[in-house]
Amino acid sequence: MAVRLVIVANRVPNPRERAATAGGLAVALRDAVARRDAMWFGWSGATAAATAAEPRVAQHGRLTLATLDLGEQDYRHYYRGFSNATLWPTLHYRLGLAQFSREDYAGYREVNRAFAAALAPLLRPDDLVWAHDFHLFPLGAELRARGCGQRLGFFLHVPFPPYDLFCGLPRAQELVADLAAYDVIGVQTEQDAANLRGALAAIGQAGAAARVGAFPIGIDADGFTRLAERAERAPETERLRQSLIGRGLVIGVDRLDYTKGLPHRFRGYAQLLARFPQHRGQVSYLQVAPVSRGDVAQYRSLRRELDEWVGRINGQHAEPDWTPLRYITRAVSRPTLAGFMRLARIGLVTPLRDGMNLVAKEYIAAQDPEDPGALVLSRFAGAAPELAGALLVNPLDPDEIAERLDEGLSMPREERAARWRPMAEAVRQGTAKAWCRAFLRALEGTASVAEAAAA
Ligand code: ADQ
């Protein structure tokens, strides 16, 4: 029988969430968790006066959920502070946006200590432990300090920048050194892997550098295709189709985050309307961007900036019977999004930096093979090396966005299909399941990190 898998992540999924509507990590790890005994450990999502010393444990079939409430102070320093306002911008190459405070950093280390202290007694000797993302750089080292000898893996979902840039962050070396406690250190792309190896080598951890591998994450491609096919005739999709009265649809789907390049994207669309008048009145751009991290100042100012852009673009270009830019900041269900993506002639995905970007892969999976749309994609998304048929852009250049949009909107069906087919194949091959299995082969030690990553 397979040994137990212990997943540690900032958030633990809600077991009541239906498979068809769940997103993110829960979907990516579904296969790994379904095939063996597993435990998922992390923050409950609730806050209390102080961080709990002991987790709440609940059993759901073969899956154990162990969750901790975070103290108010810890939530502020660890989550809102160091994770979201310091590490997030730094890892996305935006050092200028990073706010550093020693209190936040201490809170971050404290919560990693508290996680390790609560988790260590629950571990069995042969468990495989897999920690996820930038919230948990020090977790492995904290577990080792408590005598845990289990195989420990870490996967970073976001980019890792060149060491010189990362070093702009106070205490950067300590954070890199923490990673050396893990047996397998996974990142999304070869570029991230090269950057992280450089960082580890620079602090004298050449051994750990050899345990870094690129494991590009994927989606449940067939599942998403089925969702999109079913949604094609759903009332929501039908209403959107009718409202377009034959106009081409451009779709963007992102969390409202400054890494996603939304202001530049809006400028790019404005440039399309200004420079390519043949598309005026012929195209509608729908941007779905639910508010996230609304308690961090930069996210509030981004929201105001986008509100202004929407007003400016529609004010300048709209006709009584045509709204060029439709903008929704509420969450939209996955089935509905899948139907919208299938309807769209262009998927517009222009993050300034992104670990992978699953929306780009979902857009490809959602297309009708007989009449697929075109993908306009940032060259700085981790998905770009895998999606060679996309129209690549530098997301900082609104003119280039406009030019690629024009190209996509004018592209004949045969060329769209020829570009789409190899991308669909790549998305079907590189699924979430394949990603999980590759990482676990390395974590189990049945393959070296280099062999498992290359497979
Ligand atoms: P995210 O930054 O959240 O993830 P992304 O990979 O694009 O970015 O999206 C995650 C999921 O959220 C997708 O399945 C998407 O459909 C869904 N989603 C996005 N906007 C939505 C909306 N408006 N309504 C409903 N659902 C929406 C982080 C990293 C990425 C990395 C992933 C996985 O930042 O680079 O690809 O983890 O490793």
Q: What is the pLDDT of residue 194?
A: 98
Residues in the chain: 455
Q: Are 43 and 32 in contact (CB under 8 A)?
A: no
Q: What is the pLDDT of residue 454?
A: 85
Q: What is the pLDDT of residue 20?
A: 46
Ligand 1 atom nearest to 362, measured from its CA: 16
Q: What is the pLDDT of residue 109?
A: 98
What the chain holds in terms of domains, given with CATH numbers, is: 5-218+432-454 (3.40.50.2000), 221-429 (3.40.50.2000)
Is 264 one of the catalytic residues? no
Rounded to whole angstroms, the Cα distance separating 380 from 359 reads 14
Query: Letter for the amino acid at 93?
Result: Y
Ligand 1 atom nearest to 383, measured from its CA: 36
Burial string for 61-86 (b: 16+ CB within 10 Å, else e) reads eebbbbbbbbbeebbbbbbebbbbbb
Residue 454: closest CA among 424, 421, 430, 428: 430
Apex 90 CA angle, 110 and 146, nearest 5? 25
Q: What is the pLDDT of residue 1?
A: 60
pTM of structure? 0.96
Centre of ligand 1 from the C-alpha of residue 74, in Å: 25
Apex 161 CA angle, 155 and 165, nearest 5? 140
Is 257 one of the catalytic residues? no
Q: What is the pLDDT of residue 17?
A: 67
Rounded to whole angstroms, the Cα distance separating 366 from 361 reads 9
From residue 371, give the alpha-carbon distance in Å to each of 242, 390, 416. Answer: 19, 15, 8
Q: What is the pLDDT of residue 294?
A: 78
For the Cβ of 358 lying below 6 angstroms from any atom of ligand 1, the answer is yes
Q: Phi and psi (nearest 5°) for 44?
A: -75, -20
- Looking only at the bridges linking them, the beta strands covering 56-60 and 63-71 are antiparallel
For the Cβ of 356 lying below 6 angstroms from any atom of ligand 1, the answer is yes
Q: What is the pLDDT of residue 428?
A: 98
Q: What is the pLDDT of residue 388?
A: 94
For the Cβ of 288 lying below 6 angstroms from any atom of ligand 1, the answer is yes
Q: What is the pLDDT of residue 141?
A: 98
> Can you give the pLDDT of all 455 residues of the chain as single tens digits?
679 999 999 999 877 765 544 557 888 888 888 889 999 999 999 999 999 999 999 999 999 999 999 999 999 999 999 999 999 999 999 999 999 999 999 999 999 999 999 999 999 999 999 999 999 999 999 999 999 999 999 999 999 999 999 999 999 999 999 999 999 999 999 999 999 999 999 999 999 999 999 999 999 999 999 999 999 999 999 999 999 999 999 999 999 999 999 999 999 999 999 999 999 999 999 999 998 877 778 889 999 999 999 999 999 999 999 999 999 999 899 999 999 999 999 999 999 999 999 999 999 999 999 999 999 999 999 999 999 999 999 999 999 999 999 999 999 999 999 999 999 999 999 999 999 999 999 999 999 999 999 87
Q: Are 342 and 228 in contact (CB under 8 A)?
A: yes
Rounded to whole angstroms, the Cα distance separating 315 from 64 reads 53
For the Cβ of 337 lying below 6 angstroms from any atom of ligand 1, the answer is yes
Question: What is the radius of gyration, based on Cα positions, of the chain?
Answer: 22
Rounded to whole angstroms, the Cα distance separating 208 from 129 reads 17
Task: Select which of 77, 157, 264, 279 is catalytic.
Answer: 157
Residue 272: closest CA among 149, 402, 161: 402
- Reading across the β-sheet that carries 151-155, which strands appear in turn? 56-60, 63-71, 38-48, 5-11, 128-132, 151-155, 184-187, 212-214
Rounded to whole angstroms, the Cα distance separating 212 from 200 reads 9
* Among 187, 329, 359, residue to substitute to test ligand 1 (most atoms within 8 Å of Cβ): 359
Query: Letter for the amino acid at 283?
Result: V
Q: Are 41 and 10 in contact (CB under 8 A)?
A: no
Dihedral sign from CA coordinates of 198, 199, 200, 206: positive
Q: Are 421 and 162 in contact (CB under 8 A)?
A: no
DSSP string across 32-77: HHHTS-EEEEEEEEEEESS--SS-EEEEETTEEEEEEEEEHHHIII
Query: Letter for the amino acid at 294?
Result: G
Q: Are 331 and 290 in contact (CB under 8 A)?
A: yes
Four-CA torsion 188, 108, 292, 88, nearest 10 degrees? -40
